[in-house]
Homo-oligomer: A and B are copies of this chain.
């Protein structure tokens, strides 16, 4: 049985396009599609300035409540709560109730994933890294 693989250049207008390269890229994107979704799902939330601070503070302090965070960040409790909800919905953080206070902490999953950044941040070495 012969399988014909037509590597025609049907959408890229560029005439000198490297069709092998393009097909390699297509395969790669298809192969890693789930990982892209997972990663962008997390980075989308971590990319917000306020939420990045929240995530980092939880990394450093292990656990904090909305009220602590609203104080630290100088924001409304309601605003912070809404950020926490997004982070919780997507499993970046989890909750534990202690009496009347609800403490938030990083899930292990995302602690591991975001750690490379937190280490850089922790040492304030952003400018050295780049």
Contacts and interface: CB of A to CB of B under 8 A. Distances in A.
A48 B56 contact: no
Contacts of A89: none
Interface residues of A, number: 61
A47 B46 CA distance: 8
B72 A29 contact: yes
Given A12-B67, A14-B101, A61-B21, A40 B36 contact: no
Interface of A: 9, 11-14, 16-18, 21-22, 25-26, 28-29, 31-32, 34-40, 42-49, 52-53, 56-57, 60-61, 64-65, 67-68, 70-74, 77, 101, 108-110, 112-113, 116-117, 120-121, 124, 126, 129-130
